[in-house]
C-alpha cells in the first residue's frame, strides 16, 4: 500500500517500438497516459468479463506482453519510482504544508495526491523543479521534536485516544511541545517532562478478570496509567498508555529536539530526490507523471 509514480518514454511517438499485435493505427495514448488498444478498450467497455475473456483474452495478453518489451524501456516507462507507503507520503505532504507557511509553493502544494491515480502535467515540471530546490532549503532548517523514553532514549510508539494528544506549535522550541490531557471534568493538563505509572488494580473500574489477566499476563489490551508532571506534580489518568509497548513498568518521558532528521548527511531529502527524478523525466519526454 502506498504511492508510486511513473513517466512514460517517447519511444512510441518517436517510432522506436517493435510491431504491436494490433494495427498501428489501433494503438493510442488513453486519458490516463497509457499506451492502449482502441479495439481492446472498446470491447472491455461493451462486453461483460466472461465474454471479453472468451473473445479477446489471447489478444489482450499479447498486447500486454508487447507493451512490456516494445522498446528498450521496460513497460515503456523511462522512470519508475516509489514515493512511499501512506505514512511516508503523509510526511512529505506535512513538510510541504509546513514549508508553505514560510514561503509559497503553489505547485508543490497541489502536486502530491491523497490517493492512487491521476497525473501531474509535464507543462508544470520546470516550475516544480525550481520550487523543489527552494523547498529542500526551507525544510533543512526545521526542528522536529520527539517524545522519548528518558531511560532508554528510544522513541515510543504512540497511539492517540481521544482523551490526550501531543501538541506542538511553530515556535520550534521544546517549551512548545507537550502532552495534553483533558479529563472528565473538562480540565486541561499539560505535560512536558513526566512519569507514567500503571494504575493499581483497585483503581481500575469496569475491567473484567479476563481483561485484567490478558493485560497483566499476556501483555494484551490497554493499560490504564497515571501521568505525573516532574516539574509541577500535576497528575492525570488516561485509559490507555501513551506508549503502545508499555508493559506495566513506570517510565519517564521528555521531548527532544532534532534538526531536520529526515535529511541525509549530504543535505538531500530522499523523497524530494524521487520527485526530482520524476520531474526531470517528465520535462525531458513531455509526458506527465502518472500516480499509481
The predicted pLDDT at position 220 comes to 56
Whether residue 187 is contained in a domain is answered as yes
pLDDT at 202 over 80: no
Q: Are residues 240 and 150 in the same domain?
A: yes
Per the structure, the complete domain to which residue 115 belongs is given by: 79-142+262-291
Q: Which three cell numbers stand for residue 217?
A: 499476563
Q: Is residue 215 part of a domain?
A: yes
Whether residue 247 is contained in a domain is answered as: yes
Are residues 27 and 53 in contact, defined by beta-carbon separation less than 8 angstroms?
no
Shared domain for 171 and 126, answered yes or no, is: no
Other CB atoms closer than 10 Å to residue 290's CB: what's the count? 20
Range name among 67-81, 241-255, 278-292 with the lowest pLDDT average: 241-255
Q: What's the rounded mean pLDDT across residues 31-45? A: 94
For a pLDDT cut of 90, what percent of the chain falls above it? 62
Indicate whether 69 belongs to any domain: no
- Binned at pLDDT 50, 70 and 90, residue 206 comes out as low
3-state SS string for the chain: CCEEEEEECCCCCCCCCCCCCCCHHHEEECCCCCEEEHHHHHHHHHCCHHHHHHHHHHHHHHHHHHHHHCCCCHHHEEEEEEEECHHHHHHHHHHHHHHCCCCCCCCHHHCCCCCCCCEECHHHHHHHHHHHHHHHHHHCCCEEEEEEECCCCCCCCECCCCCEEEECCCCCCHHHCEEEEECCCCCEEEECCEEEEECCHHHCCCCCHHHHHHHHHHCCCCCCEEEEECCCCCEEEECCCCECCCCCCCEEEEEEEEECCCCCCCCCCHHHHHHHHHHHHHHHHCCCEEEC
In a shared domain, residues 149 and 211: yes
Give the tens place of pLDDT for each residue, 112-155: 998 999 999 999 999 999 999 999 999 999 888 888 999 888 88
Q: Is residue 59 part of a domain?
A: no
Same domain, 166 and 219: yes
Better-predicted residue by pLDDT, 32 or 135? 135
More confident residue, 116 or 210: 116
In this structure, are 110 and 240 located in the same domain?
A: no
Residue 177's CB is within 10 A of a number of other CB atoms, namely 20
Q: For 37-63, what is the mean pLDDT? A: 96
Residues 111 and 196 in one domain: no
Residue 168's pLDDT is 63
Indicate if 137 and 271 belong to the same structural domain: yes
Task: Report the pLDDT value the prediction gives residue 159, as an integer from 0 to 100.
Answer: 58
| Model confidence band, residue 8 (pLDDT cutoffs 50, 70, 90) | very high
Q: Are residues 230 and 283 in the same domain?
A: no
Between these two residues, 186 and 65, which has the higher pLDDT value? Answer: 65
**Average pLDDT taken over every residue of the chain:** 88
Same domain, 102 and 166: no
User: Is residue 21 situated within a structural domain?
Assistant: no
Q: Are residues 148 and 205 in the same domain?
A: yes
Q: Do 149 and 255 belong to one domain?
A: yes
Q: Give 212's pLDDT tier (boundaries 50, 70, 90).
A: low
291 band by pLDDT with thresholds 50, 70 and 90: very high
**Residue 5 in domain:** no
Same domain, 150 and 253: yes
- Is 170 a residue whose pLDDT tops 60? no
Give pLDDT tens digits for 221-242: 577 889 999 999 999 988 888 8
Of 179, 177, 189, the closest CA to residue 236 belongs to 189
Q: What is the pLDDT of residue 224?
A: 82
pLDDT value for 195: 95
pLDDT, position 290: 97
Other CB atoms within a 10 A radius of the CB of residue 270 amount to: 12
Q: What is the pLDDT of residue 214?
A: 61
Q: Is residue 4 part of a domain?
A: no
Q: Is the pLDDT of residue 162 over 60?
A: no
The structural domain count of the chain equals 2
Residue ranges of alpha helices (H) inside 22-158 are: 38-46, 49-69, 86-99, 125-139
Amino acid at each position: 500500500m502506498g504511492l508510486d509514480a511513473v513517466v512514460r518514454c517517447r519511444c512510441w511517438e518517436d517510432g522506436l517500438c517493435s510491431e504491436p499485435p494490433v494495427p498501428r493505427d489501433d494503438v493510442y495514448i488513453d486519458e490516463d497516459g497509457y499506451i492502449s488498444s482502441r479495439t481492446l478498450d472498446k470491447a472491455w467497455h461493451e462486453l461483460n468479463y466472461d465474454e471479453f475473456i472468451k473473445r479477446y483474452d489471447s489478444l489482450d495478453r499479447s498486447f500486454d506482453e508487447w507493451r512490456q518489451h516494445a522498446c528498450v524501456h521496460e513497460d515503456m516507462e523511462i522512470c519508475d519510482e516509489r514515493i512511499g507507503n501512506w505514512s511516508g507520503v503523509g510526511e512529505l505532504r506535512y513538510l510541504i504544508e509546513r514549508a508553505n507557511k514560510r514561503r509559497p509553493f503553489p505547485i508543490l502544494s497541489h502536486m502530491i495526491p491523497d490517493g492512487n491515480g491521476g497525473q501531474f502535467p509535464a507543462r508544470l515540471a520546470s516550475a516544480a523543479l525550481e520550487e523543489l530546490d527552494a523547498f529542500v532549503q526551507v525544510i533543512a532548517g526545521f526542528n522536529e521534536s520527539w517524545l522519548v523514553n528518558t531511560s532508554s532514549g528510544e522513541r515510543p510508539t504512540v497511539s492517540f485516544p481521544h482523551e490526550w494528544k501531543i501538541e506542538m506549535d511553530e515556535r520550534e522550541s521544546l517549551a512548545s511541545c507537550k502532552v495534553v490531557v483533558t479529563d472528565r471534568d473538562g480540565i486541561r493538563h499539560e505535560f512536558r517532562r513526566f512519569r507514567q505509572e500503571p494504575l493499581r488494580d483497585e483503581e481500575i473500574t469496569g475491567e473484567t478478570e479476563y481483561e485484567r489477566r490478558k493485560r497483566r499476563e499476556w501483555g494484551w489490551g490497554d493499560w490504564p496509567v497515571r501521568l505525573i508532571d516532574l516539574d509541577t506534580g500535576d497528575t492525570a489518568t488516561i485509559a490507555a498508555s501513551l506508549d503502545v509497548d508499555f508493559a506495566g513498568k513506570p517510565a519517564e518521558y521528555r521531548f527532544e529536539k532534532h534538526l531536520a532528521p529526515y535529511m541525509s548527511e549530504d543535505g538531500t531529502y530522499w523523497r524530494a530526490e524521487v520527485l526530482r527524478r520524476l520531474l526531470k523525466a517528465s520535462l525531458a519526454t513531455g509526458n506527465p507523471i502518472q500516480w499509481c
